[in-house]
Amino acid sequence: MKPFAYERPDDAQGAVATVSADPDAAFLAGGTNLVDHLRLGLATPSTLVDVTGLTSTEITDAPDGGLSIGAGVRNADLAADERVRARYPVLAQAMLAGASGQLRNMATTGGNLLQRTRCAYFQDLTTPCNKRQPGSGCSALEGWARHHAVLGATHEPADVACVATHPSDMAVALAVLDAQVRVLGAEGERSIPLSTLHRLPGGEPSRDTVLAHGELVTAVDLPPSPIAARSTYYKVRDRASFAFALVSVAAAIEVVGDTITDARLALGGVAHKPWRATAAEEALVGAPPTDDTFRAAARAELVDARPVESPRGGTAFKLPLVTAAVTAALRGLAGGEEHA
């Protein structure tokens, strides 16, 4: 662990100015991921700029009927907010499905978005990892890849390969809600669709998001979304609590008569970013709310899927699991009783 300076500027602009001016500085919010990284030697900032209290800790009603969530809102408070629970149940459920009670009390909205992959090799300084050390190779491709990607990953060439997944539950719910992320940079404020905040690894797996160094998440805006009132988050994991998703599904559908008239679907645990399942959404709309429809929609999303075929545990099982989880989640929303 490398010593670092600790600063606490008076306002968000000051924090952004400090970090923007120093390539080795980093923002500190709840610290639930960054402090681990400091201990592991994975992050070696020269300066930590504490943004606690510099961004809003409030959830406010927006004029358009949506909600604005301050970046400093703790995960536990977001999960418990009555408006979120009533208007965006998928988000409240996703929050409660993530981490543990203790971590949710510390972790912030902004920090949750910017947490990094839990790939074992990324977190282990003694193994090659293109995300941590560009060009060193991907240990997961032939390693322990149970939590890794099936969509949008880079399998080759070797010096940029990355099959890591983004670990956030919250971000998957935000993806389905068409959230906007407000960001403050040295040049001023901008708003980014959540769906484009996180990147696919492409040829540059070290970059998780499109943010420039020094840009600070200040808020997440949720547009009004009548369909979200009937939404759900279904998380499949290896134990009942305190585990990252193998596959998760954020879903909302509207059914009129025997027909799905609108659908929103996003997947977690399958890609380097929260995966908005647009192909599945297209397949759902206009079809009857049956298990066959749900399975066909999931399979439509998986047409280009490529699991990690590792001798030490790959992700091929996630293809049937995505289909199963999407089916279970949508069946629950549609109120159906069908089963495998």
Partner 1 sequence: MTLTPHAMGTAMPRPEGPEKVRGRAPYAFEHPAAEPLYLFPVQAAIPRGRVTAIDTSAADALDGVVLVLTPETAPRLSDAIDPDHGVLQSAQVHQYGQYVAAVVATTSETAREAADLVRVTYAQEPHVAALDEDSSELYGPDTLVTGAPADDTRGDPDAALAGAAVTVRATYRTPMEHHEPMEPHTTVAVWEGERLVVHEATQAVSWTRQALAGAFGLAEDDVDVVAPHVGGGFGSKGGTHPNTVLTALVARAVPGRTVKYALTRQQMFDLVGYRPATIQHVALGADADGRLTAITHDVVEQSSRIQEFVEPTAAFSRGMYEAGARRTTHRVAPLDIGVPTYMRAPGEAPGSFGAECAMDELAGALGVDPIELRVRNEPEVDPEQGLPYSSRNLVACLRRGAERFDWSRRDPTPRSRLVDGWWHGTGVAAASFPVVRFPGSEARVRAARNGALGNGAGAPRYVVEIAASDIGQGAWAALTAIAADALDVPVERIDLAIGDTAFGSASPAGGSSGTTSWGAAITEAAERFRDKYGDDPDDGDEADATTPDNPWAAEYAMHAYGAHFAEVAVHADTGEIRVPRMLGVFAAGRIVNPLTARSQFLGGMTMGLSAALHEESVLDDRFGHVVNRDFAGYHIATCADVGRMDVEWLDEDDPYVNPMGSKGIGEIGIVGAAAAIANAAHHATGVRVRSLPITLDAFL
Residue found under tokens 């923007």? 20
Q: Which of 20, 144, 282, 290 binds partner 1 (CB under 8 A)?
A: 144
CB nearer to partner 1: give 59 or 97: 97
Taking each helix axis from N to C end, the angle separating 291-301 and 318-334, rounded to the nearest 10 degrees, works out to 140
Q: Which of 63, 82, 126, 257 binds partner 1 (CB under 8 A)?
A: 126
Beta carbons of 279 and 304 less than 8 angstroms apart = no
DSSP string of 204-260? -TT--BSPPTT-EEEEEEE---GGGGGEEEEEE-SSSSS---SEEEEEEEEEETTEE
The whole-angstrom separation of Cα 248 and Cα 137 is: 28
The token pair that represents 185 in the structure block: 């940079």
Q: Which of 220, 321, 333, 334 binds partner 1 (CB under 8 A)?
A: 321
Q: Which of 5, 23, 24, 41 binds partner 1 (CB under 8 A)?
A: 41
**How far apart are CB 273 and partner 1 at their closest, in Å?**
20
DSSP alpha helices (H): ranges in the chain? 12-21, 34-40, 75-80, 82-87, 89-97, 101-106, 109-114, 170-176, 194-197, 278-284, 291-301, 318-334
Question: Residue 162 is which amino acid?
Answer: C
* Window of 68-76, 138-146, 216-224, 272-280 that interacts with partner 1 by CB under 8 A: 138-146
* Residue 333 in contact with partner 1, rule: CB under 8 A: no
* Residue 312 in contact with partner 1, rule: CB under 8 A: yes
Residue found under tokens 């901008």? 190
The token pair that represents 203 in the structure block: 């040829």
* Window of 19-27, 185-193, 214-222, 235-243 that interacts with partner 1 by CB under 8 A: 235-243
Q: Which of 241, 259, 261, 309 binds partner 1 (CB under 8 A)?
A: 241
By CB under 8 A, the count of residues binding partner 1 is 37
Q: Which of 50, 124, 178, 282 binds partner 1 (CB under 8 A)?
A: 124
* Residue 335 in contact with partner 1, rule: CB under 8 A: no
* Residue 39 in contact with partner 1, rule: CB under 8 A: yes
* Residue 75 in contact with partner 1, rule: CB under 8 A: no
* Residue 4 in contact with partner 1, rule: CB under 8 A: no
List CB contacts of 36: < 8 A, sequence separation 6 or more: 42, 123
Q: How many CB atoms lie within 10 A of CB 31?
A: 17
* Residue 190 in contact with partner 1, rule: CB under 8 A: no
Q: How many CB atoms lie within 10 A of CB 278?
A: 14
CB nearer to partner 1: give 67 or 308: 308
* Residue 339 in contact with partner 1, rule: CB under 8 A: yes
Residues that bind partner 1 (CB under 8 A): 1-3, 39-41, 118, 120-121, 123-124, 126-127, 139, 142-144, 236, 238-244, 246, 312-313, 317, 320-321, 324-325, 327-328, 339-340
